[in-house]
Amino acid sequence: MAKSNRLSDRLNPKTVNQFGKSQSSFGHLYNNGAIPCKLSHGSVNHRLVWNETPESLSYDPLLVHFAEGLVETQHPYTFITRAAFIELCEVPGSGDKVLPLLCRLILLSNKL
């Protein structure tokens, strides 16, 4: 399949990575809309806006993707991965969801 040279095809948001090259699979997932939160830019502080409540989310593999994204050095990936990881861990009752993923998270932390 040949690449199109039309300007509208090159500027299609589904084909343009607006944040540049990411260092992990997290960036690819975020750019494709597979991560259920987005960054809300405030005048002073940034915050995450979730598509669903964090309590209702399945932590596997979401928490693992956030842990993989901790290697990111480019905004907004750095903020999103850290803030989302912390917010998911602070949800009441999250220990039951995090415990089965602990081995995978430890292995990932050794790679950081």
What is this structure's pTM? 0.78
With a cut of 70, which residues of the chain have pLDDT below it? Answer: 1-21, 112
Contacts of 90 (CB under 8 A, 6+ apart): none
Interatomic CA distance for residues 104 and 98, integer angstroms: 10
Residues 37, 50 contacting (CB under 8 angstroms): yes
Contacts of 21 (CB under 8 A, 6+ apart): 27
pLDDT, tens digit, for every residue of 23-38?
Answer: 788 988 998 899 999 9
